[in-house]
């Protein structure tokens, strides 16, 4: 496993198809840095409140100003990170947290960058600092998907896979209606070479959220790897229908359709039937 990078405002652009887990998957290892506006709009409701007094209005305006400033600093940090300027990116993420101490995305970005530097420099102190920052992120947003992923990767990389599984399992247990927790648990099981268990959790995820393109994409990839091409094709099509901004999924649908048709035609020509074999799939992360 590798460390993570910031989520862009158009997360699909950093998606790697073969990871099978959609927009959360980033270029460097399965999560992405958070470049606001975040998908988590938890504080945006302030803008629609009817304020009872001028003083209350000023408080909200101040809080909103802090959030916008922190968003800008996160965005600048993300750009620097993507340019490989990790130390400069750290400084921007530190500013974001100083501007808005409740900004979970800022803590995640700081953790992910520190994690990257720790691996790059083989610095155990930085790795330990990254772990603490991931936990601070989860203190501010207990359902932060990228942060759960980042912390799980760190735990596996530091020889604590049992802690990684406990982290994601507890998250899923505490949020029985949240599909993302099951997707990340499936991801861990697949990386642990337990594809059937991964498949079970992905099936649970699409039952909970039938419009989750990440879950359908991951399900399709696992089924393709297992040789069930017809079902894999349906899963890819469902993922693409939910989120058409996935050009690599569109390409996979076309390739798989051609292969299924070709094999069917060949079986007719041979006067018999032949089971379809899976395409050679890339083997990167979710």
Cis peptide upstream of residue 37 (ω within 30 degrees of 0)? yes
Residue 208 placed within a domain:
yes
Residue 1 placed within a domain:
no
Residue 5 placed within a domain:
no
Whether residue 99 contacts residue 69, with contact meaning beta carbons closer than 8 Å, is answered with yes
Residue 220 placed within a domain:
yes
Residue 282 placed within a domain:
no
Residue 193 placed within a domain:
yes
Number of domains observed in the structure of the chain: 1
CA–CA gap between residue 143 and residue 208 (Å, rounded) = 16
Largest CA distance in the chain: 82
Q: For residue range 231-254, what is the model confidence (pLDDT) as tens digits?
A: 999 999 999 999 999 999 999 999
Token digits of residue 248:
């690599």
3-state secondary structure of 87: helix
| Mean pLDDT across the chain | 80
Q: For residue range 186-219, what is the model confidence (pLDDT) as tens digits?
A: 999 999 999 999 999 999 999 999 999 999 999 9
Q: Count Cβ atoms within 10 A of the Cβ of residue 201 and give its class: 0-12 exposed, 13-18 middle, 19 or more buried.
A: buried
State the pTM of this model: 0.75
Residue 158 sits in a domain of what CATH number? Answer: 1.25.40.10
CA–CA gap between residue 82 and residue 33 (Å, rounded) = 10
CA–CA gap between residue 3 and residue 33 (Å, rounded) = 11
Residue 286 placed within a domain:
no
> Which domain range does residue 35 map to?
11-269
CA–CA gap between residue 141 and residue 174 (Å, rounded) = 14
CA dist 65 → 25, 60, 69, 176 (Å): 30, 8, 6, 35
Whether residue 17 contacts residue 10, with contact meaning beta carbons closer than 8 Å, is answered with no
Residue 285 placed within a domain:
no
Portion of the chain with pLDDT greater than 90, in percent: 64
């Amino acid at each position: 496993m590798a460390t993570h990078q910031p989520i862009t405002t158009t997360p699909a652009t950093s998606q790697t198809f073969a990871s099978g887990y959609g927009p959360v998957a980033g270029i460097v290892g399965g999560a992405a840095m958070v470049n606001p506006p975040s998908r988590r709009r938890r504080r945006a409701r302030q803008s629609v409140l009817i304020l009872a007094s001028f003083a209350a209005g000023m408080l909200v305006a101040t809080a909103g100003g802090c959030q916008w400033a922190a968003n800008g600093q996160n965005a600048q940090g993300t750009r620097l990170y993507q340019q490989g300027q990790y130390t400069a990116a750290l400084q921007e993420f530190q500013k974001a947290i100083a501007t808005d101490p409740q900004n979970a995305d800022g803590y995640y970005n700081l953790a992910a960058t520190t994690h990257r530097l720790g691996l790059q420099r083989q610095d155990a102190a930085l790795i330990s600092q990254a772990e603490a920052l991931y936990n601070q992120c989860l203190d501010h947003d207990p359902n932060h998907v990228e942060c759960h992923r980042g912390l799980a990767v760190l735990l596996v990389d530091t020889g604590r896979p049992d802690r990684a599984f406990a982290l994601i399992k507890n998250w899923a247990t505490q949020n029985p209606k949240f599909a993302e927790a099951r997707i990340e648990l499936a991801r861990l099981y697949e990386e642990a070479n337990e594809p059937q268990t991964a498949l079970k959790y992905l099936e649970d995820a699409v039952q909970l959220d039938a419009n989750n393109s990440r879950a359908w994409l991951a399900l399709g990839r696992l089924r393709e790897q297992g040789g069930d091409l017809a079902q894999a094709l349906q899963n890819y099509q469902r993922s693409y229908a939910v989120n058409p901004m996935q050009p690599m999924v569109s390409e996979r649908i076309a390739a798989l359709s051609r292969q299924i048709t070709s094999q069917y035609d060949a079986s007719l020509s041979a006067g018999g039937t032949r089971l379809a074999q899976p395409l050679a799939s890339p083997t990167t992360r979710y």
